[in-house]
Amino acid sequence: MALNLNERGFSLMEALTGATISVIAVLGLAHSFGVGRGLVNRYEVARAALGEAQSQLEALQLVPRSDATLAFGYNSPPTPFRYEGTDLGTSSWRVLPYDEPSLPGTRNLKLVVVTVRWTSSAQSDSVSLERLWVP
């Protein structure tokens, strides 16, 4: 009696091929988890940098508006950006003229831009916050 072809089951080669494909799929999945973990770490520093920029903008509120460090065109020297006791980068701000069409003049507002730059895991990153101030 001749056997039907679909009763022969899988050959070893078929089983090994299937297993190889499964292993590749699982490795891809595991890699995606690793990438996700790396992104969480990256944005941990980014959140800290955002907090640093917000604090810097807030601190500038205490500086008199007529101060030289808030004059048009001012670029502050970089100050260290630290996170968990480690210097990761620098923080600085600059003051730019801003033209609000509904106000008289062309340099009627100050655009204060705080930028925090850092390097983490050999990857450079930065975050900038802007705020408009009345001169």
Partner 1 sequence: MGAVIPARRSEAGLTLTEVTVVMIIGTMIMAGLVGFYLASQGLWLDASTQAITQREASLVASAIRDRVRSSSYAQAFSVPDSLHQQLALFSKLGDTVPSYYFWWDPSDSLIHAGPTIGGANSGPMVSSLAERFQVTTSNLKPAVRVDLRLRSATGSTVEVGTLAVFMN
Interacting residues with partner 1 (CB under 8 A): 3, 8, 12, 15-16, 19, 22-23, 26-27, 29-30, 33-34, 36-37, 40, 43-44, 47-48, 50-52, 54-55, 58-59, 61-62, 83-84
Which CB atom, from 33 or from 73, has the smaller least distance to partner 1? Answer: 33
Which CB atom, from 31 or from 107, has the smaller least distance to partner 1? Answer: 31
In angstroms, rounded to a whole number, what is the distance separating the alpha carbons of residues 12 and 59? 70
Closest by alpha carbon to 117, among 84, 78, 86?
Answer: 78
Which CB atom, from 25 or from 103, has the smaller least distance to partner 1? Answer: 25
Shortest separation between residue 101's beta carbon and partner 1, angstroms: 27
CA quadruple 79, 83, 89, 91: dihedral sign: negative
Positions of E strands within 1-135: 79-83, 86-98, 109-120, 123-133
Which CB atom, from 36 or from 105, has the smaller least distance to partner 1? Answer: 36
Helix (H, G, I), strand (E, B) or coil at 17: helix
Shortest separation between residue 107's beta carbon and partner 1, angstroms: 25
Shortest separation between residue 4's beta carbon and partner 1, angstroms: 11
In angstroms, rounded to a whole number, what is the distance separating the alpha carbons of residues 37 and 90? 25
Radius of gyration of the chain from its Cα atoms, rounded to whole angstroms = 28
Locate 44 and state its tokens.
């941990």
Shortest separation between residue 70's beta carbon and partner 1, angstroms: 15
